[in-house]
Amino acid sequence: MPGEPLQMNNSKPKVLAILPAFIPSTHICIIKPMVGMHRANLIHAKITLEYLVSQRSLEWADLVIFCRNTEPRYDYMLDFLLSRRIPFVYDIDDNFFEAPLDSEEGEYHRNPGRLAAVTRYIETANWVRVYSEPMLEQVRGLNEKVEMVSGPIDWSLISPVTADSRRNPVRVVYATSRFDDQLAALFMPGLNHILSEYAGKVEVHFWGTKPRFVNGGQRIQHHSFVPDYDKFIRRFSQGGFDIGLAPMKDDSFHRSKTNNKFREYSSCQIAGIYSDVDVYSSCVTNGETGLLVSNSAESWRNAIARLIEDHDLRRKIQRQAQDYVRGHYSQGEFERVWWDQIQQVLAGRGTHSVAALPQAGISGSPSGKVEDRNWQEQTILDHLTTKVRNFVVHFKNDGLRFSLHLFRERLHDFLMVVKLRFFTSSVLKYFRSPKVVK
């Protein structure tokens, strides 16, 4: 029943998570719950990147989990799973079908080959997990085995707010994992007014991106992006921030996103100001657990000024928002939902439709031979070639700073693979006693 600890099972399913990269979404949605269930001795988990997958690892798995995978060059893995009737779950927290074409990210995801790959993942999955009503409707037209889930908060990482952490000047924060974040432009004109009007009374912190077109001198502080999400949220909760900004465009792509900033800000007792779109208006009570604003410079300026001046309102929102999030989002409940879905999928193993199976002549390997054992060598070479080519292109177009950012991301991916492999092998060796997910 909900709220009760998960008890370990005598027969542990072998679960392989295949990820495109280690980014906040894959960390929150896949890595943390898989590690949690592995530690609780519920499953035997292996987590890897798609270019490192071998045929042996697919044969090992009772269940495979994909998250945001879109690359058509890895179709052979899907062919293999379908031909062997190995069930898989597809987890997706973005609407790639509606990604705006006026950005490099949008052009990447709207590539016809990638959209075809996403469609195939969704259509052939034994279970699809989404995080918003628009995505639920989008996916339901492709696969009826879809469920909308709520994101988690790991409360063990949240530091309590102390009197020392609340000090003048008032601290305003904006956090993003994007190197070139376009959403910040929604509040930037209003924020510039605040920096002029409240000189000496406010300082602004940008976490993960250096803003453009902001005037504030020493009152603007930049915190480098922290790729390890657990480290980020732990440090973020220790920052003593008073007001958090959460801009969001009102279009089909952005309405399909999750309320991640509401969970993060509220859990850290930060009074959030949110764009008045479904992502936030569905969970924020205006004036009680946050402020909802239109995306005009005046609305952003007025909301920030209101929370700077009204200390009592700011504290009320901070407390009530944290209470709400504590009652609705937790890591333990997120893992319970995952565990329930894993059991449901395994109970119906082998239910892929005939239409979903690979056509004759497609055998599920890069070379077209099922017995081919050289997947890893081929995919690693292809992956490295692509990354080197991308690095050169970005260096020419965007300069050294962005190229180094990409290099750090790839280095983080490599270190995470090593860390996860060491962790899972260590757990198997040392954690033999019954465990529970708290």
Distance separating alpha carbons of residues 383 and 375, to the nearest angstrom: 12
Does residue 176 belong to any structural domain of this protein? yes
171 and 147 fall within a common domain: no
- Domain ranges, residue 242: 155-328
In sequence order, what are the residues at sequence separation of 6 or more whose Cβ sits closer than 8 angstroms to the Cβ of residue 164? 240
Alpha-carbon distance values, 352 to 17, 123, 127 (Å):
19, 10, 11
Q: Which residue intervals of 222-329 are DSSP H helices?
A: 229-237, 252-255, 260-267, 278-281, 297-309, 311-328
Answer yes or no: is 259 within a domain. yes
One domain, residues 421 and 316 = no
Residues 170, 312, single domain; the answer is yes
CB-based burial label for 14 (10 Å; 0-12, 13-18, 19+): middle
Residue 219 domain-assigned (yes or no): yes
- What does the pLDDT look like over 241-282, one tens digit per residue? 999 999 999 999 999 999 999 999 999 999 999 999 999 999
Residue 1 falls within a domain, yes or no? no
**Does 127 reside within a domain?**
yes
Query: Are 178 and 106 in a shared domain?
Result: no
CATH number at residue 140: 3.40.50.2000
Q: Which residue has the tokens 């082998």?
A: 350
Nearest CA to 283 among 305, 261, 304?
261
- How many domains are contained in the chain? 2
Using a 10 angstrom Cβ sphere, with 0-12 exposed, 13-18 middle and 19 or more buried, the burial of residue 312 is exposed
Is 147 contained in some domain?
yes
Q: What is the residue-level pLDDT of the chain in tens, covering all 438 positions? A: 334 445 444 589 999 999 999 899 999 999 999 999 999 999 999 999 998 898 999 999 999 999 999 999 999 999 999 999 999 999 999 999 999 998 888 899 999 999 999 999 999 999 999 999 999 999 999 999 999 999 999 999 999 887 655 678 999 999 987 766 789 999 999 999 999 999 889 999 999 877 666 665 668 888 888 888 999 999 999 999 999 999 999 999 999 999 999 999 999 999 999 999 999 999 999 999 999 999 999 999 999 999 999 999 999 999 999 999 999 999 999 999 999 999 999 998 545 544 455 543 334 554 444 444 455 555 555 555 565 555 555 445 555 555 555 556 666 566 676 666 655 554 444 344 444 333
pLDDT for the residue numbered 208: 83
Residue 63 sits in the same domain as residue 50: yes
